[in-house]
Amino acid sequence: MSHIFPRHCHTDMPTAVGRDGCFLIDASGKRYFDGSGGAAVSCLGHSNERVIAAIKDQAETLAYAHTGFFTTAPAEELADLLIAHAPGDLDRVYLVSGGSEAVEAALKLARQFHIENGEPSRKHVIARRQSYHGNTLGALAAGGNAWRRQQFSPLLIDVSHIAPCYEYAERATDETLFDYGQRVANELEEEIQRLGPENVMAFIAEPVVGATLGAVPPVEGYFKRIREICDAHGVLLILDEVMCGMGRTGHLFACDAEGIAPDILCIAKGLGAGYQPIGAMLCTSQIYDAVANGTGFFQHGHTYLGHPIAAAVGCAVLKEILENDLVAQVRSRGAFLGTQLHHVFGQHPNVGDIRGRGLFWGIELVENRDSKTPFDPSRGIAAKIKKAAFAEGLACYPMPGTRDGRIGDHVMLAPPFVASEAELKGVVESLERALIMTL
């Protein structure tokens, strides 16, 4: 009997014992192509020798030093490397152990910035429906997924949620893409006015929405309007690139595709590529200086901040991505994967939408393609597809509740950047067989 507390108490899972490039191997010897990179994590596959060597070398040099006493060479190097390629005025890096921690740090820093800046009334956070920003209480409160929030709602701070930029399901038939994007962006202006501009501290959003909507990119002009609104009211823009960043969408930082930069940016997942738990919060010099010239102390912290081995891994991962021009490879392989998905599923009667950017793709499943009507949630479509795909040797990321946290189903794909075209074609073929078995 296992003493592990699993994610689901009634699911028997195979034991992973090995790896081979983009594949994981269980105790029976069965191979599974990692078509979702876990949760958009394993961007370099599972056998990268440079990253493995970085872990060994750093462990032999220095395993741990608490940031209350020391800085370390790998932490300094990683911060320099990130800022050298970061958008806009981002200038400081706060290293943490994952995405939820990065978002928690961002929310706290946003609040402290306004206090240090002489505006203590700024306390409200605005986010979007059907967003996901992590599972710690602050990050969960910011997230707009009703299913994840429901049983914990009495514990969550009050956060406003406006419409997402989800044109497949929510754009009116008589709206252009641009007009739709401006309309939903202007909901931010309306909510700021409702709360009072002097009371709003930050707006948080994913540039490309991941787990809850299934790789939904914004329409053109949406984020430029969001940036304008934030600037007009002194509201900090926090971008959550935990899932979509670090090259996943064909840009090292996903917001580069929108031609904007945030005040605070959160990354994780692909930063460590699964080899170590690591995340980071980046902020502008203006925000850092407000703290540095004020109290001089950010009232926050965790034991494993800036862990030397994790930071060494982050450096090795970034160097692999940059030196091998993997961001360009993501764009080309992503175009190939998109073409394959449209070829196989473009006319499927139960595929309503195929969307994505780079190597980050989502397929929304519907009962009626013409009306866009989702399947009844009692059918458990997402869970059945996950099981069928896994039997085919494909690990992918199906999720229920796409539309509102209760109804709707999608499948998300986020394969490693190093996957070959043949392997990506195999992903589509395995997924096709899974849909045949399920629908």
The pLDDT mean for the chain works out to 97
The pLDDT value given to residue 287:
98
Q: Is residue 360 pLDDT above 90, yes or no?
A: yes
pLDDT for residue 47: 98
Least-confidence region, from 143-147, 215-219, 329-333 = 143-147
List, for residues 385-394, the tens digit of each pLDDT value. 999 999 999 9
**Per-residue model confidence as pLDDT tens digits over 18-71:** 999 999 999 999 999 999 999 999 999 999 999 999 999 999 999 999 999 999
Note the pLDDT tens digit of each residue in 296-338: 999 999 999 999 999 999 999 999 999 999 999 999 999 999 9
Look at residue 223 in the predicted model and tell me its pLDDT.
Answer: 98
Which tens digit of pLDDT belongs to each residue from 341-358?
999 999 999 999 999 999
Does position 146 have pLDDT exceeding 90, yes or no?
Answer: no
**The residue to which tokens 């780079």 are assigned:** 358
pLDDT digits (tens, 9 = 90+) for 373-431: 999 999 999 999 999 999 999 999 999 999 999 999 999 999 999 999 999 999 999 99
- Percentage, residues of the chain above pLDDT 70: 100
Query: pTM score, two decimals?
Result: 0.98
**Predicted local distance difference test score (pLDDT) of residue 1:** 83
**What's the rounded mean pLDDT across residues 202-219?**
97
Q: Say what the pLDDT of residue 147 is.
A: 87
Assess contact for 368 and 350: CB atoms under 8 A: no
pLDDT of residue 23: 98
Average pLDDT of span 263-270: 98
pLDDT for residue 122 is more than 90: yes
Tell me whether strands 16-20 and 351-356 are parallel, antiparallel or unpaired. Answer: unpaired
pLDDT at res. 250: 98
